[in-house]
Structure formats: structure tokens, C-alpha cells
Amino acid sequence: TSAFSFAEGENYHDYKALLIGDVNGNIIKEDNSSTVRPLASVTKIMTSILTLDKIKQGSISYEDKVTVSSKAASVPYGIKLTAGKQYTVRDLLKATIIKSSNNAAYALAEYVSGGDVPSFVDSMNSKAKQLGLNSLRFCTPHGLPPGDTGTCMDQGNAKDLYGLALKAIEYKEYLNISRNATDYIDGGEI
């Protein structure tokens, strides 16, 4: 049986919140699972879901070329993206999901929203509410803290992160990408 585990702390025994549940929604163990904490990089799960929704709707495709803006390229802690260069949506999803690349997540948010990242973040929050994940509050497409972004802190609790994970596994392509520890993008250059 597969299980999800969400714990924040130095190690498994030093967590601030814990939730272990299976893929069917059965919670096996939880402690402080309703305590709201910063989301950090798991924010990118919602960014990926919204991008995959747009692909499913036919608004965009995996092979669409995204021209990376200078703003997206300058977002810290990501792979080397060159401003003005084009990458496919699939490549940016790989960088976001496998490498947790903040700049790739930002580039996807720009592309999906037609350049309006605050509107993309609004969509992230709307999707969370639609899914009943009411502790989730998104401020960015990547989860960087306010010191890096000048926005609020992306936050939520372990119980709602579990709900988000259960939603993410409904997306076959999310699983196809995330099962890889490494992959190539940009025609094998990265």
C-alpha cells in the first residue's frame, strides 16, 4: 500500500505537524495536522495542478513554447533559465515537479495566466476552496518566503496538504513526471 507522509521538522521524530495516510484517504496517524504552517515548495503542487488543468481543457499544450521573462528567470533557487529563451510547458513542468525550480514555476504561472501572476495566485486559492482545502492560502506560485517575494506567506495544514496530494495523484502526467529523480529538458541541454 502506498502512503503519504507530511511532517515538518529536523527529522521524523522532531516534527511540528504530522499526517500519514493512504491513497484512499484513510488517515493512519496524525498529530497537529490542523496546525497552519508555511507551505514552502509544496506550493508548486497547486501550480502544477492548475497548469495540468489548462492542458486538459485544451487551452495550452505540453509542447507550447514559453518565452521566459526576465522576472521569471531572476526568481532565486531554480535551474538555469535564460530570459528570452523558449522552453516547452512540459520542460517547465519537469523542472517544477522534479527539481522544485522556483523560476520554472513562476514562468508557468506567467504563461498560464497570460502574464498576470496575481490572477494565477487567485486561481490557486479558488481551486483550494473548490477542493474544500480551506487552510491553504497561496501568495506565490512557488512558495518562497515573504523576504524573497514581498507578498504574504504561502500556508496551510498537513490535513489539507494530504487532500492536495490525493488530488495530484489523479493527474497521470504529474505521476509520470514525479516518479523520475532526474530528467532532461531543453533538448538535453539541462
Q: Of residues 5, 41, 99, 178, which has the active-site annotation? A: 41
Whether residue 184 contacts residue 190, with contact meaning beta carbons closer than 8 Å, is answered with: yes
Q: How far apart are CA 86 and CA 65, in angstroms?
A: 6
Residue 33 annotated as catalytic:
no
Catalytically annotated residue among 33, 100, 101, 113: 100
How far apart CA 116 and CA 121 sit, in angstroms, is 9
| DSSP calls for 56-91 | HHTSS-TT-EEEPPHHHHTSSSS----TT-EEEHHH
Active site residue 41: yes
Q: Is 100 annotated in the active site?
A: yes
The catalytic residue among 33, 44, 101, 123 is 44
Q: Which residues are catalytic?
A: 41, 44, 100
